[in-house]
A and B are shown apart, each in its own frame.
Chain A
Amino acid sequence: MAEPDYDAFREEVRRFALAHCPPEIREVVASYRKLSRKIWAPWQRILHAHGWGAPSWPKEYGGTGWDARQRVIFDEVMAECDCPPQYHHGLRHLGPVIIEFGTEEQKQRFLPGILDGSDWWCQGYSEPGAGSDLASLRTAARREGDHYIVDGQKTWTSHAHEADWMYTLVRTSKEEKKQQGISLLLVKLDSPGITIRPIRTIDGWHHVNEVFLDNVRVPVENRIGEEGKGWTYGKFLLERERLGGANIAPHRMALERVRDLVRTELAGPAREEERGLLLHRLLEAEAELLGAAELGRESVQAVMDGKPLGLLPSVVKLSTSVTMQSISQVALDAVGSRLASRFRRVEGEGPNANPPGLEWVQNYMYARVRTIYGGSSEVQKNVIARQLFGN
């Protein structure tokens, strides 16, 4: 098979993004405001109508059939054009699991809604007692005829408040190893017995929730794969995610935006030294990103060659998460004294609305999570050390 013309592909994606992504959507992305279903869903519909709904899925399931390099180029151009990154829970997490392990009926029923953005999914993994140590989860499902009865609590559930469905890991039996006896269920969020409560996070945005499951009935046909093998499917899902870090474009966009912010916020000769200090810190972040970009390039090449990625995903995750935090720190240092002091208006309407630019403060607070989620820095270091020390 002839190799695709990647430069032409990049141009094609860019033309499409600029022509078809609505300005009001790009404006939200460009200003770092919170993305929600209202922003994502219409964009997913547009992509799907163009045949680009699922870049990482095989063609027979409505995917694009692109290779790894095309997928990363697509993501890069989307970021460069301020298009929202595709909502990942259905497309990147659950979809591939259904394609790999789901029944024909499950594929027919769930894949179309993910593709066109009409169904919204969230992930019910973490629990109050099971964060980085996910296998300690305790939410239990017991079989009653052709239903499971689910009891327990999920937490950190992003987007549960706007989702229709939750894919969730539950314990269907107690086994010797905690990784065993876990099953993957698909739960409709309007089922009786479900309560969703927002978690107030330090950034002032609403993205995560607690989800309480109290005697929730889930049809057995909503179980993916075999009972008790949920951990395998969960791992499959996380392993497919490992190329996610190869796309450094969002980081570069953040860097350029903060550089502009520093130049405008600290304009004028009186603030020259302050400006110089912050611009210098951004330079160091830029150097880190250049190194990370090359590691991303190596990752894509490894996937293209069918070679193992080794420690690359852990290294890229560790370093880019910290670099993004550094960039957000510079932004905070530029606007903090003016805006961190006005984080929430007491009366939030009309002339009392939040001052423009507050997103930089929120974004700084949000950036703390980058070294916590997706395998915390400490977990990644354990992974790296095990490999380096050979034990």
Chain B
Amino acid sequence: MPFAATPLVAGETYETALRFGEEAAAELAPLAEPSAQAACLRAQWDRIAALGWPGIAVAEEEGGAGGDLAELAALLCGAGRTGLALPLATACGVVPALLSGHPLLADAASGSARIAAILPGATQDPGEEALRRQPNGALHGAAVGIEAPPAPTHVVAFVEGDAPALLLLRADAPGMELVASLRVDGRLAYDIRCRGAVPEAVLAEGDEARRRVETARDLGALLACVEGVSAMGALIEQTVAYLNQRVQFGAPLATQQALRHRVADMYVEYENLRGITAAALRAATTEDVLPWRAIAFAKLRLGIAGREVAESAIQCHGGMGMTEELPAIRLCKRLLMAEFEHGGRVFQARRLLAA
């Protein structure tokens, strides 16, 4: 029997997310136009909102389903196998952590509020400035390539300065401009520019604001790892299946030792990432605070292993590896993109070295 990956967290939520992700991928695959893909993602968002996913780990009294981190991880495990193009880690993990205690959390949990989060480290185009708050409270500056649910209704932004703060803005407020892109992995991202936009609320200030964005980002990084492990497991399965089936020079490619060894290397990377992620997830579910070091090391590994495995899978698929639609290649693109989410390897390495 060829390899079949075991999910980090199995169960009903995992199965539901897996089924949903497979359907969603099949729906997206034939659409070539970016606008058609974006419209499709918008409709898929409403379906996951109806399933209650954005609020899966939000407390019941705050309008969510009251699930725990393991439940949320199961969701990412299922969706991760399919390379689902919706930002689950951000929408179901990071954003609820940022909104904690604010009434908008209930709308975020129901999916009716779709929120883009600008965290420290967000990038700008050359010549642009990071977001800053003027004395009158208005916001100026930009953040580009912010992964978010389709057609955001709100923006949560962390601003540095003498008084760091976590601010909430309406996406349609005067002075706000959002421009959508599709990322390498087919998810939606937004360039967000503020020209005198006035925040609707201050969610947190000073150390509390900083602590909140750091915790939220670490949660996002952990979930990205969980998702990455699943994507990698599925990718190895699909690569093995391809090599078993594809015949060249009169024999299946799977008989070529060079390719078999490359897949063995992919598997070693996968197992190692699975190990470090399982350990971080276990620590996160049993300890009171998020184990930032364990998460930083896991995210560092995801960056390295993700790229290694994605590049190998593309190579093993030969010319087919350069095509857009192959499910395996979608997973490759997902893995390549994970490096840039919730703190890349350089960021993680720097904080580990500084500690």
Contact = CB atoms under 8 A, between A and B. Distances in A.
Contacts of A391: 254
Contacts of B264: 318, 380-382, 384-385, 388
Interface of B: 1-3, 236, 240, 243-244, 254, 257, 260-261, 263-265, 267-268, 271-276, 278-279, 294, 297-298, 300-301, 304, 349, 352-353
A293 B279 contact: yes
Contact of A294 (B2, B240, B279, B352): B279
Contact of A382 (B260, B265, B272): B260
A378 B261 contact: yes
Contact of B267 (A276, A279, A287, A315): A315
28 contacts: A276-B353, A279-B353, A283-B300, A283-B352, A284-B304, A286-B297, A290-B276, A290-B297, A290-B298, A294-B275, A294-B279, A318-B268, A319-B268, A381-B264, A382-B257, A382-B260, A385-B261, A387-B3, A388-B3, A388-B236, A388-B240, A388-B263, A388-B264, A388-B267, A389-B3, A389-B254, A389-B260, A389-B263
A287 B261 contact: no
User: Chain A interface mostly helix, strand, loop or mixed?
Assistant: helix
Contact of A280 (B2, B279, B294, B349): B349
Contacts, number: 100
A260 to B, nearest CB: 15
Most buried by B among A312, A380, A385, A391: A385
B2 A287 contact: no
A276 B352 CA distance: 12
Nearest to B237: A388
User: Chain B interface mostly helix, strand, loop or mixed?
Assistant: helix
Contact of B272 (A295, A381, A385): A295
A172 to B, nearest CB: 34
- The 9 A-B residue pairs with the shortest CB-CB distance, nearest first, are A294-B275, A291-B272, A385-B260, A291-B276, A381-B264, A291-B275, A390-B2, A384-B264, A388-B3
A388 B261 contact: no
B263 A292 contact: no
A192 B118 CA distance: 80
Contacts of B263: 385, 388-389
A12 interface: no
B302 to A, nearest CB: 9
B279 to A, nearest CB: 4
B268 A315 contact: yes
A298 interface: yes
Nearest to B244: A389
A121 to B, nearest CB: 33
B340 to A, nearest CB: 18
Contact of A388 (B2, B257, B275, B352): B2
B279 A290 contact: yes
Contacts of B298: 287, 290
Contacts of A276: 353
Contacts of B2: 388-390
A390 B244 CA distance: 9
A112 B271 CA distance: 41
B65 to A, nearest CB: 30
Contacts of B297: 283, 286-287, 290
Nearest to A385: B260
A188 B279 CA distance: 48
A123 to B, nearest CB: 27
A265 interface: no
Interface string A270-314: 000000100110011011101111110110000000000001100
